[in-house]
Chains A and B, each alone.
Chain A
Amino acid sequence: MKINDGFVLRTICKRNVVSGEGTANVNYSSLITLNDTAAYLFKNLQGKEFTEETAVDLLLEEYDVDRETASKDVKALFEKWKETGLLSE
């Protein structure tokens, strides 16, 4: 799977916000906020082809969690990202 083109992560008001950006227009009407963990994954996965495993490995590298918890969190997060159109298979 991959993160769809045209999404840019920025910090607005100390928060991680993803906005849809075309080549000419930035859409600020539907901003997606990410917590720090999700933002960490977003930064490290953007522009790459990856699987849930890739994301789980990234979490294990950076955070003190067990694989099972990380895997559950990634599944839940990716569900949300798919709903918002951030992620495609």
Chain B
Amino acid sequence: MKMVVHNDEFFSQVLERLDEGLTTTIPVKGYSMLPFIRGGKDLVILEKAQGEIKRDDIVLFRYGGRYIMHRVLKEADGRYDIQGDGVWLGHEYPVREQILAKVTTILRAGKTEVDPYSGNQLRMVHAWHRLGKLRRYLLFIYKHLPWNKEWLKENAI
């Protein structure tokens, strides 16, 4: 049975738990963090965003009335330049107070634990980001692979 929970209500629950000092495991929607986080397939473990937020951190933040989970590219003038790995144009520029939580672990397919900040992972992330506009075409192909079609259809936002 699928339960529909309004995003605001869901995240207020999650943030309450984080404030209590717990971590939370949550599902992910959408494709803006492809290929590193697959909406509808992977889960992430969040902790409260405390202290310094750095380049490469995957963070949950509130922006324009929405909750978004993307990666920090850099910090400049008190704002963070943030972009989804699967996004080639849009950036977000939240201030520190808008950043609420940080991803500590990705659970690939809900099972396999991946440290998103390990040397290997970050090398892949940086290589991926260096591809620039080419990412758009690679993701287009990725999304049209026959074995990805069903999943993409189910999880369209």
Residues of A within 8 A of B (CB): 10, 12-13, 15, 17, 21, 24-29, 31, 33
B44 to chain A: closest residue by CB: A29
From B8, which residue of chain A is reached at the shortest CB distance? A13
User: What is the number of contacts between chain A and chain B, taking CB atoms within 8 Å?
Assistant: 43
Q: What would 12 more interface pairs be, CB under 8 Å, given A13-B5, A29-B25?
A: A12-B10, A21-B22, A24-B22, A26-B14, A26-B17, A26-B25, A27-B24, A28-B24, A28-B26, A29-B27, A33-B1, A33-B3
Is B53 located at the chain interface by the 8 A CB criterion?
no
Contacts of B3 in A (CB 8 A): 15, 17, 31, 33
User: Are B25 and A27 interface neighbours, CB within 8 A?
Assistant: yes
Majority SS at the chain B contact face: mixed
Within 8 Å CB of A28, what residues of B?
Answer: 10, 13-14, 24-27
For B27, list chain A residues within 8 Å (CB). 28-29
Known: A10-B13, A15-B3. A24 touches B25 (CB 8 A): no
The yes or no answer to B150 lying at the interface (CB within 8 A) is: no
CB–CB A13/B9 < 8 A: yes
B43 on interface, CB distance cutoff 8 Å: yes
